[in-house]
């Protein structure tokens, strides 16, 4: 059962503020956008599983001259975005349907807090297709809520499970690293950060190894 639609109805015009405050309890989205911009320049950015646009907007701010595309399977894609539509575009589309027309296009692909909503067996495929959207020197940021035996982890699980209604499954930090190695080659993780306010927020900054960009696991 998903409580999200009911909660959104109750909040009315307060929803954007409430959504931002709720997210901030678990993750500072701006810290990821800033860390990405400090790591690599980019003029074309793809956010895969962008949801209502919180991180997409932060990416547009952190990369003030970039074109940012957010895609998601949800009909609410980009709904809470306040970004300039001349620079930020949203599409409701699967990555399977999107990538063939955008192969080798993006400098940077970002997948943030999506993987735990994706069935385990489908994760290698998602990463492999993300790699196919990248230009030859393109890079990828994979951020997820890594499983840890802490009270905040339980709160995060309950929020995800009952607000979205999804059967979420969190990977451990080692499982996330192994997924990246399988898709993009051993040694592809150039940088790894724990982002505020909780150590669960693990970001892997990935430079696919030559020959691995098209995704070994597709
Ligand atoms: C927690 S939200 C994260 C939104 C955004 N990335 C952010 O950090 O603000 C997870 C999103 O993943 C999306 N999602 C789940 N499975 C997906 C898939 N296979 N392809 C694309 N998006 C997916 C959901 O629709 C949801 O909007």
- What global pTM score does this model have? 0.95
**CA 94, 100, 103 angle in degrees (round to 5)?**
110
Which DSSP string do the residues of 189-200 spell out, in sequence order?
EEEEEE-TT-TT
User: Which of 75, 138, 66, 56 lies closest to 102 in space, CA to CA?
Assistant: 138
pLDDT at 217: 47
The model's pLDDT over 1-46, given as tens digits with 9 standing for 90+, comes to 577 777 777 788 888 898 999 999 999 999 999 999 999 999 999 9
With cut-offs at 50, 70 and 90, classify the pLDDT of residue 55.
Answer: very high
Report which ligand 1 atom has the smallest distance to the Cα of 56: 9
By most ligand atoms within 8 Å of CB, the mutation choice from 19, 36, 73, 121 for ligand 1 is 73
Q: What is the pLDDT of residue 162?
A: 83
The whole-number pLDDT of residue 213 equals: 59
User: Rounded to whole angstroms, how far apart are CA atoms 81 and 177?
Assistant: 31
Residues 157, 163: Cα–Cα separation, whole Å: 10
Quickly state the pLDDT bin for 179 (edges 50, 70, 90). Answer: very high
When the pLDDT of each residue in the chain is averaged and rounded to a whole number, the result is 93
CA distances from 200 to 33, 90, 205 (A): 17, 28, 16
Q: Which of 55, 72, 123 to mutate to test the pocket of ligand 1 (most atoms within 8 A of CB)?
A: 72
Q: What is the pLDDT of residue 56?
A: 98
Alpha-carbon span 190 to 153, nearest angstrom: 26
Any residues with CB less than 8 A from the CB of 45 and at least 6 apart, and which?
59, 63, 66, 67, 68, 69, 106, 107, 108, 109, 110
Q: What are phi and psi of 63, to 5 degrees?
A: -120, 80
Position 216 pLDDT exceeds 90:
no
């Amino acid at each position: 059962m998903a409580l999200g639609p009911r909660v959104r109805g109750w909040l009315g015009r307060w929803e954007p503020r409430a959504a931002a405050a709720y997210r901030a309890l678990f993750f500072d989205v701006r810290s990821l956008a800033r860390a990405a911009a400090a790591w690599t320049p980019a003029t074309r950015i793809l956010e895969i599983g962008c949801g209502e646009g919180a991180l997409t907007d932060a990416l547009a701010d952190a990369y003030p001259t970039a074109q940012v595309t957010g895609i998601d399977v949800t009909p609410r894609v980009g709904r809470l975005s306040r970004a300039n539509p001349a620079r930020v575009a949203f599409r409701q589309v699967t990555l399977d349907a999107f990538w063939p027309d955008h192969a080798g296009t993006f400098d940077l692909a970002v997948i943030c807090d999506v993987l735990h909503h994706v069935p385990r067996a489908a994760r290698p495929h998602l990463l492999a297709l993300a790699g196919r959207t990248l230009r030859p020197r393109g890079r990828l940021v994979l951020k997820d809520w890594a499983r840890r035996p802490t009270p905040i982890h339980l709160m995060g699980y309950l929020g995800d499970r009952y607000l979205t209604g999804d059967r979420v499954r969190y990977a451990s930090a080692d499982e996330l690293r192994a997924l990246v190695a399988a898709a993009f080659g051993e040694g592809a993780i150039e940088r790894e950060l724990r982002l505020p306010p909780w150590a669960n927020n693990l970001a892997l900054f990935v430079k696919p190894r030559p020959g691995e960009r098209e995704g070994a696991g597709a």
